[in-house]
Amino acid sequence: QVQLQESGPGLVRPSETLSLTCTVSGASISINNYYWGWIRQPPGQGLEWIGSRYYSGSTYYNPSLKSRVTISVDPSKNQFSLKLRSVTAADTAVYYCARHVWDEQMFDHWGRGTLVIVSS
């Protein structure tokens, strides 16, 4: 079955760049109709979509984060990555990677999530 696993530092200093990688198993990242996305959840709060990317390059970002975010895909490793620049304490959250099914516009498989704390 499809599985996703986030990895990356759990602590990032303010003004630096948050970098996370999602490794996909059980499915190819280069399959038609599937985008690969990131969603975050601040402690005790709701869900916020960050962005989604297709393996061949088409990308959508949340306008509120667009100036600071880059999502990339590495089909050779079956991985995709998130970079969020110039972080502040407000970026502290659990970050989830997820498979984004384009036709239905739904997120059908999620990673377990990784907590990233922004603090000096």
Partner 1 sequence: DIQMTQSPSSLSASVGDRVSITCRASQSIRNYLNWYQQKSGKAPKLLIYGTSSLQSGVPSRFSGSGSGTDFTLTISSLQPEDFATYYCQQGYITDLYTFGQGTTLEIK
Tell me the closest approach of the beta carbon of residue 55 to partner 1, in angstroms.
17
Q: Which CB, 52 or 92, lies closer to partner 1? A: 52
Tell me the closest approach of the beta carbon of residue 103 to partner 1, in angstroms.
9
Q: Return residues touching partner 1 (CB under 8 A).
A: 46-49, 52, 60-63, 96, 101, 104-108, 110-113
Tell me the closest approach of the beta carbon of residue 15 to partner 1, in angstroms.
26
DSSP β-bridge partners for residue 24 = 4
**Could you give the angle at the alpha carbon of 15 between the alpha carbons of 98 and 100, nearest 5°?**
10
Q: Which CB, 15 or 64, lies closer to partner 1? A: 64
Tell me the closest approach of the beta carbon of residue 117 to partner 1, in angstroms.
16
- The CA–CA distances, whole Å, from 96 to 2, 4, 9, 73, 111 equal 15, 9, 14, 16, 6
Q: Which CB, 12 or 111, lies closer to partner 1? A: 111
List of residues 6+ apart from 119 with CB closer than 8 A: 11, 13, 14, 89, 92
- Which amino acid is present at 120? S
Q: Which CB, 74 or 108, lies closer to partner 1? A: 108
